[in-house]
Amino acid sequence: MTTVFIISAPSGSGKSTLVSRLMSEVDKLRFSVSYTTRAPRGGEVEGKQYRFITRPEFEARLAKDEFLEHAEVFGNYYGTHVEELQLAKNKGDDLVLDIDVQGAAQLKKRIPDAVTIFVLAPSRLILEQRLRARSEDSDEVIRRRLADAAREIQNYSLYDYVLVNNDLNLAAETLKAIVRAERVRRIRVEDAIRPILSTFDQAYGA
């Protein structure tokens, strides 16, 4: 059984670092590479962080209902292709998605059993400091990201878990613990439990 883990956070909360740690330290996970119409940034590699396509191509795929979820952010489309979930199922892996609150809400409607995790910076001031430390955005973009963060965090109550990223190592360990705990939910292990129960039935003639 494949479990879908949805991880959302305002930009600068440390989500990408946490997801990277999770993917490298927990096995049987597939990272869902989203499609986007924005241009690559810095050292981003096609097919690793994103699949970069044109706006007309994205809209054509959207018209064919190829996306589990999609959103338009800062004038660019982002979306999760249906093949990502199928590829995870084929390999028996769990699927990890790094998507915003819009996409998370859409995906939760399509996959109600998906596990949702919201990553939160300890304060607005710390979030701003982290954004500025990245040296990627202008003052105008940083102000816009902070305004968006103020709106996004209002949705925290819609998530199953809220992870405050105050200490990176502690947050990473907590995220791994969430994934491991979800993997031993009864619904996940029913197929493994039944053979065990049958050995008791056989022993006592039930």
Work out the pLDDT band at 97, boundaries 50, 70, 90: very high
Q: Which domains does the chain have, with CATH numbers?
A: 4-31+93-204 (3.40.50.300)
CA distance linking residue 180 with residue 184, whole number of Å: 7
Asked whether the predicted pLDDT for residue 204 surpasses 70, the reply is no
Find all residues with CB under 8 Å of 164, minimum gap 6, and list them: 120, 121, 122, 171
Percent of residues, the chain, with pLDDT higher than 70: 98
Asked whether the predicted pLDDT for residue 200 surpasses 70, the reply is yes
For the beta sheet containing 161-164, the strands, ordered from the edge strand earlier in sequence to the opposite edge, are: 29-31, 94-98, 4-8, 115-120, 161-164
CA distance linking residue 175 with residue 180, whole number of Å: 9
Compute the average pLDDT of residues 78-103. 94
Q: Distances in Å between the alpha carbon of 42 and those of 47, 49, 54, 137, 189?
A: 15, 11, 19, 12, 42
Asked whether the predicted pLDDT for residue 30 surpasses 70, the reply is yes
Task: Find, among 112, 90, 114, 82, the residue nearest to 182 by Cα.
Answer: 114
Residue for token digits 């050292």? 43
Does residue 30 contact residue 80 with C-beta atoms inside 8 Å?
no
Q: What amino acid occupies position 89?
A: K
| pTM value > 0.85 | yes
β-pairing, 76-81 vs 34-36, is: antiparallel
CA triplet 103, 128, 166: central angle to 5 degrees?
80
Work out the pLDDT band at 163, boundaries 50, 70, 90: very high
pLDDT given at position 37: 96
Compute the average pLDDT of residues 89-109. 93
Task: Find, among 9, 12, 3, the residue nearest to 128 by Cα.
Answer: 12
Asked whether the predicted pLDDT for residue 193 surpasses 70, the reply is yes
pLDDT given at position 205: 62
Expressed in angstroms, the distance from the first to the final Cα of the chain is 29
Percent helix, percent strand, percent coil in the chain, to nearest 5: 50, 20, 30
